[in-house]
Structure 1
Amino acid sequence: MLSRGMLCIVIVACSPTALAQPVEGADGRLTDPAGRVLYTFDRDSAGASACKDECAVQWPPYAAPPDASAKPAFPLLRRDDGSLQWAHRGKPLYYFAGDVKPGQASGDGLGGTWHVARTRPAETPDSGPSYSPKGY
């Protein structure tokens, strides 16, 4: 019987949308074409994944098909097992096994090292005008 994490890898690996180039959402978040949020890992170096074995069970790589064509914003990297993984600005892209529906981003900030992949910084909500009295 497959564990939940292994089942997630099987589902992601078999999904046709999992192989397509990442998509930029209206808020700058990167997703797969089905709307599943993608993440980056601070411990990765440009062009190389540090997330292997048990890490890759919780954070499945965003796979690319063997015939994928790299784009300037979305290069490809070859993992240790020979498979291809999409990247953004050289950083490998991943799913989070804890996200169960499109748009969910429950892995953002986990361990202080996992972040939603973005094409631009997240906007912070406007807290309104600041008050600065004159003469004080």
Structure 2
Amino acid sequence: MPMRGIAVLATGACMITIAACGTSEQPGSQPQPAATPAPAPTVVGTRTAPTGDYLVDASGRTLYLFTKDEPNTSRCVGPCAANWPPLSGTPQAGPGVDLAKLGTVNRPDGSRQITFAGKPLYYFAEDMAAGDVKGQDKMHAWYLVSPNGEAIKTAAPTG
């Protein structure tokens, strides 16, 4: 076989080999996006105070209920939600919390809010650190939440 024929055959064989090694995708297939890790669950636990235990998040921030909410319905929207941010995420029971009482509800804006015993849970924007309870009895409508799901209407606990 002449030298030119061998060179053509060798070049063709190399091209086929390179093409075969280049990709395993089928024509028209789309690359698969990287798996997004699931967000960490939102832990609801309890804090002990002289006036009784109340609900907090994993970092110890106080959680409140709004007495004007209907069961499994949040009525705190717009400017209210700016002052009383809803607790969101996938609920997980921490120490002292009954998992069966945790749930979620759809908010009017389409987001999901964590509930406890059917009551939507909120933070208070002025609470800056774990254990702050500046929202207790605000407007006679905002209260700490007991581990049984009821409003704690006693004086704000300290500590």
* Equivalent position of 2:76 in the other structure: 51
CA–CA separation in structure 1 for the residues paired with 2:68 and 2:137:
13
The partner residue of 2:44 within 3, 22, 41 is 22
Which of the pair has the greater relative contact order for Cα pairs under 8 Å at 6+ separation?
Answer: 1
Sequence identity percentage: 33
Which shows bigger deviation, 69-78 or 102-111? Answer: 69-78
What does 1:1-136 correspond to in 2, within 5 Å?
20-26=42-48, 27-65=52-90, 71-120=99-148
Tell me the C-alpha RMSD between the 2 structures.
2.6
In 2 relative to 1, CA 36–50 (structure 1 residues): closer, same or farther, beyond 3 Å? same
Amino acid at match of 1:21: V
CA–CA separation in structure 2 for the residues paired with 1:76 and 1:33:
17
Please say if residues 39 and 116 of structure 1, whose CA atoms lie closer than 8 Å, have aligned partners that are also in contact.
yes
Higher fraction of strand: 2
Amino acid at match of 1:95: Y
CA–CA separation in structure 2 for the residues paired with 1:47 and 1:69:
18
TM-score by length of 2: 0.60
1:75-96 Cα shifts (integer Å, max 9, x gaps): 1111122211111110100000
Segments of 4+ moved more than 3 angstroms = 68-71
Larger radius of gyration: 2
CA–CA separation in structure 2 for the residues paired with 1:94 and 1:84:
12
* Equivalent position of 1:132 in the other structure: none
Amino acid at match of 2:55: L
Q: Shift of residue 21 of structure 1?
A: 3.0
TM-score by length of 1: 0.69
1:45-85 Cα shifts (integer Å, max 9, x gaps): 000000000000000000114xx579421111111222111
